[in-house]
């Protein structure tokens, strides 16, 4: 029996849309281990993006079918699988009617900012896939599972980098002598991040109009790869993206350090964001499900544990490398994005803590293990995938063909 196994979630059915992805797979195993009845809904399009871009995860991931089979062998727990696209409403309707979820965790979107800025067709694809997919989920909840709690993954990037403190979803403003609590202003900086803004508005409206219960989790950048469940067997291993399109900052830096590539700091490196360990992602989802929003409530939590600038990350990875005898250098790459490189950043993140989140902070130990993990798989790294290739300014109407 896997450690941490319990029957805490017994009797609660959770549908995880995007359950074959990075956050989704870790969450599916975590909730299944806690006794929740889990179903994964996924179109497997993330695996196709890798094929199209000629890249692959650092880690050799098993097929979804084999992952679920291995989990059943080890834990005795069954995870149901529905393979299809949530933009196809008939498919989603079938999945809802057959599984009848009490909570839906929605991770199933195109989540790379660079991918959404490659060209017009990928920008349009991203917004269509994300916005229409989420609308379909809202309609499915309304029609087939009205009491179901929607736990939707948003992003801290919805807020941008305003020169005032960032609140959790809402800000109280006094204007011309009158006061109201209003949605916090959104200033996203890619067509991907904007898709999340549009989702947030659509969900808030559906909560009001149809009394749906929803939690919008504005998640920061996730790092790490192992969770207690994914570490149980090599067939349960999670994906770890390091390429210039899907790889995220700290994960990329650890892989770069492992293969002796200079760390790619974009521009001045003062870009500050919220970050969290993947073990905290799964905990946050568990907490959101266990403490559902009320009918008609649109709740927003900022889901991250610490703030770092890109330069901070380069510094900690360099120090961790030294300890392991790896020499790490950083370079300033011309910034391919349009974003502030020096700015004020102070984002609130107290609501998940109040529900009981016990954070895994970025410690030397974690960096050592992530770096060591990268070292183990470093022969799989394609050095040609490391430098960024997508320019925000150059996004054009001609589809970018990737030659590999």
Q: Which residue is nearest to ligand USQ (CB)?
A: 157
- Using CB under 6 A as the binding rule, whether residue 20 contacts ligand NAD is answered as yes
Q: Closest CB to ligand USQ among 230 and 302? A: 302
Q: Verify binding: residue 144, ligand USQ, rule CB under 6 A.
A: no
Using CB under 6 A, pick the residue from 19, 101, 220, 292 that binds ligand USQ. Answer: 220
Q: Give yes or no for residue 292 binding ligand USQ (CB under 6 A).
A: no
Residue 281 CB-density burial (10 A; 0-12 exposed, 13-18 middle, 19+ buried): buried
What whole-number distance in Å separates Cα of residue 379 and Cα of residue 394? 32
Q: Which of 71, 96, 107, 253 binds ligand NAD (CB under 6 A)?
A: 107
Residue 366 partner contact from ligand NAD, ligand USQ, none using kind-dependent CB cut-offs of 5 to 8 Å = none
Nearest to 38 by CA among 68, 75, 79: 79
User: Could you say which residues in the range 372-391 bind ligand NAD, by CB under 6 A?
Assistant: none
Give CA–CA dist 34/29, Å, rounded: 9
* Active-site residue identified among 134, 155, 161, 264: 155
Given the complex with ligand USQ, which of 210 and 266 has the nearer CB atom? Answer: 266
For residue 188, count other CB atoms closer than 10 A to its CB. Answer: 18
Using rule CB under 6 A, residue 339 touches ligand USQ: yes
Residue closer to ligand NAD by CB (options 76, 353) is 353
Catalytic residue status for 192:
yes
* 23, 58, 113, 214: which one binds ligand USQ (CB under 6 A): 113
Q: Catalytic: 196? A: yes
CB neighbourhood size of 361 (10 A): 11
Contact between residue 392 and residue 337 where contact means Cβ atoms under 8 Å apart: yes
Candidates 14, 15, 16, 23: give the one binding ligand NAD (CB under 6 A): 23
Cα-Cα-Cα-Cα dihedral of 372, 374, 377, 382, to 10°? -150
At 379 the three-state DSSP class reads: helix
Residue 242 catalytic? no
| 145 and 133 Cβ atoms separated by less than 8 Å | no
Among the listed ranges 263-271, 279-287, 359-367, 368-376, the one in contact with ligand USQ (CB under 6 A) is 263-271
Binding to ligand USQ by residue 110, rule CB under 6 A? no
Measure the CA–CA gap between 78 and 401, rounded to whole angstroms.
Answer: 40
| Maximum pairwise Cα distance, the chain | 64
> Rounded to 5 degrees, what angle do the CA atoms 222, 89, 246 make?
25
CB atoms within 10 A of CB 354: 10
Contact 313, 269 (CB under 8 A): no
- Binding-site member from 2, 274, 292, 321 for ligand USQ (CB under 6 A): 274
Q: Is 222 in the site for ligand NAD (CB under 6 A)?
A: yes
Q: Is 22 in the site for ligand NAD (CB under 6 A)?
A: yes
Minimum distance, C-beta of residue 262 to ligand USQ, in the bound complex (Å): 11
Q: Which residues contact 390 (CB under 8 A, 6 or more apart)?
A: 114, 115, 117, 118, 244, 245, 336
Q: Which of the residues 23 through 62 are near ligand USQ (CB under 6 A)?
A: none
247 makes contact with ligand NAD (CB under 6 A):
no
- Residue whose C-beta lies closest to ligand NAD: 21
Q: Tokens 């001609």 identify what position?
A: 398
When the beta carbons of 129 and 302 are compared against ligand NAD, the nearer one is 129
- Taking the least distance from each CB to ligand NAD, the nearer of 91 and 144 is 91
Q: How far is the CB of 114 from ligand USQ (least distance, A)?
A: 7
Residue 89 burial (CB count, 10 A): 16
Residue 274 touches ligand NAD, criterion: CB under 6 A: no
Residue 386, Ramachandran bin (φ over 0: left; ψ between -120 and 50: alpha; else beta): alpha
Which structure tokens are listed for 98? 């057959």
Report the DSSP pairing between strands 298-303 and 213-219: parallel
Residue placing its CB nearer to ligand NAD in the complex, 12 or 248: 248
CB of 176 to ligand NAD, least distance (A): 36
Catalytic choice (196, 215, 227, 351): 196
Residues involved in catalysis: 155, 192, 196
Instruction: Write out the residues near ligand USQ by the rule CB under 6 A.
Output: 111-113, 155-157, 193, 220-221, 248-249, 252, 264-266, 271, 273-274, 310, 337, 339
Instruction: Write out the residues near ligand NAD by the rule CB under 6 A.
Output: 18, 20-24, 42-46, 85-87, 107-111, 129, 133, 153, 155, 219, 221-222, 248
């Amino acid at each position: 029996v896997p450690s941490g196994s319990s029957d805490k979630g017994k009797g609660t059915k959770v549908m995880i849309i995007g359950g074959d992805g990075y956050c989704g797979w870790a969450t599916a195993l975590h909730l299944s281990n806690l006794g929740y009845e889990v179903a994964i809904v996924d179109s497997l399009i993330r695996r196709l993006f890798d094929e199209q871009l000629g890249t692959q995860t650092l880690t050799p991931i098993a097929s979804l079918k084999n992952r679920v089979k291995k989990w059943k062998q080890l834990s005795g727990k069954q995870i149901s699988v529905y393979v299809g696209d949530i933009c196809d409403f008939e498919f989603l309707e079938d999945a809802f009617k057959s599984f009848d979820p009490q909570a839906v965790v929605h991770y199933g979107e195109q989540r790379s900012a660079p991918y959404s800025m490659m060209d017009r067709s990928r920008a349009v694809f991203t917004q269509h896939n994300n916005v229409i997919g989420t609308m379909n989920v809202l309609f499915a909840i309304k029609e087939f599972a009205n009491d179901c709690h929607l736990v939707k993954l948003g992003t801290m990037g919805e807020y941008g980098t305003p020169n005032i403190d960032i609140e959790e979803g809402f800000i109280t403003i006094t204007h011309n002598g009158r006061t109201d609590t209003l949605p916090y202003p959104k200033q996203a900086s890619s067509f991907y991040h904007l898709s999340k803004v549009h989702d947030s508005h659509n969900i808030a409206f559906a909560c009001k109009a149809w009394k749906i219960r929803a939690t919008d989790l504005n998640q920061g950048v996730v790092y790490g790869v192992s969770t207690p469940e994914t570490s149980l067997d090599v067939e349960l291993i999670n994906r770890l993206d390091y390429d210039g399109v899907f790889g995220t900052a700290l994960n990329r830096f650890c892989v770069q350090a492992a293969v002796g590539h200079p760390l790619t700091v974009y521009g001045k490196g003062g870009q500050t964001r919220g970050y969290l360990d993947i073990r905290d992602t799964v905990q946050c989802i568990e907490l959101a499900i266990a403490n559902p929003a009320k009918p008609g409530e649109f709740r927003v939590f900022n889901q991250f544990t610490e703030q770092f600038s890109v330069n901070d990350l380069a510094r900690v990875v360099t120090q961790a490398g030294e300890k392991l005898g790896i020499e790490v250098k950083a370079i300033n790459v011309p910034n391919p994005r349009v974003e502030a490189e020096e700015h004020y950043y102070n984002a609130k993140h107290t609501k998940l803590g109040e529900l009981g989140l016990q954070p895994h902070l970025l410690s030397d130990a974690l960096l050592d293990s992530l770096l060591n993990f990268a070292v183990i798989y470093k022969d799989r790294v394609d050095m040609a995938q490391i430098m960024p290739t997508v320019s925000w300014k150059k996004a054009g109407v001609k589809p970018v063909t990737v030659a590999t």
